Amino acid sequence: MESPIYKLIVVLANSVKRSHWCVAGKQIFESNGRWVPGLWVRPMDPTTEGGAITRENMRCDNGRIPQPFDIIDIPMLKCVIDPHHPEDWVIDSSRQWKYCGTFPAGDADSLLDSPPQLWSSRTDPRKLPEGYIAKMLRPSSLFFIKPAADFHIAIFKEDDRPRRRLSLRYKDTDHEFDITDPTFEDRYLHGHRIIPGQKFEMTLPQDGRLHLCLSLTPPFHGAHYKIAATIWEKPPA
């Protein structure tokens, strides 16, 4: 049996993926009493469709299901080496994840990415052609950013399915992200009923406290789709 490689990560996304979960975060290292972020890590289960993580496989040693900003020590077996998802690592599902505490909310901005642009397409703000990630100067399917003020969310039904979509302008380019954050509805919709044929638009607090974990899906019918995996508000000081 292979010896696991333990990676200590701060969770920045724990979103819905089919009937399971997609977990992602940045590896962190302690230096002079502070956490220093490293590379992105996305745990993958090779036994499930699309590598989604089951609830039992991500349950920590104290029974906790990881939440954004939890610090988790995860046993890995190897890097997937997928040009479409360069951050993916295969988990050792025979070993339990270890909960190690919570990342200080006041230090959240130390985790931010500042890409010159997000993934952009001239033809569709929601998706990119398959193979786009591998052609990036620095291939990445994950970003943690603080949005500017010009963004909004639309809630509607499409093909009789509820949709929650975030529209965002970043560096003069428009983007649309399907929201897969499992806590979004409870925190912001407060039981608002989605009526077929009607679109409900809302704005989130635009006081600089909002942070977004954004992701691209693996190829699906020839395209990578944009996902808002986590919508997180920094607590008031």
Question: Domains in the chain, start-ordered, CATH in brackets?
Answer: 5-104 (2.40.50), 112-233 (no CATH)
pLDDT tens digits, one per residue of 68-102: 999 999 999 999 999 999 999 999 999 999 999 99
The proportion of the chain whose per-residue pLDDT surpasses 70, expressed as a percent, equals 93
d(C-alpha 208, C-alpha 235), whole Å: 11
Nearest to 67 by CA among 102, 97, 117: 102
The predicted pLDDT at position 148 comes to 78
d(C-alpha 220, C-alpha 224), whole Å: 6
Q: At 228, phi and psi to the nearest 5?
A: -100, 95
Helix (H, G, I), strand (E, B) or coil at 106: helix
d(C-alpha 40, C-alpha 5), whole Å: 15
Which pair of structure tokens corresponds to residue 159?
Answer: 């093909």
The predicted pLDDT at position 41 comes to 98
d(C-alpha 139, C-alpha 122), whole Å: 19
Most confident region among 42-56, 159-173, 211-225 by mean pLDDT: 211-225
Helix (H, G, I), strand (E, B) or coil at 133: helix
pLDDT tens digits, one per residue of 153-179: 887 767 667 788 888 888 888 899 999
Task: Please state whether the predicted TM-score (pTM) of the whole model is above 0.75.
Answer: yes
Which pair of structure tokens corresponds to residue 120?
Answer: 């952009």
* CB neighbourhood size of 64 (10 A): 13
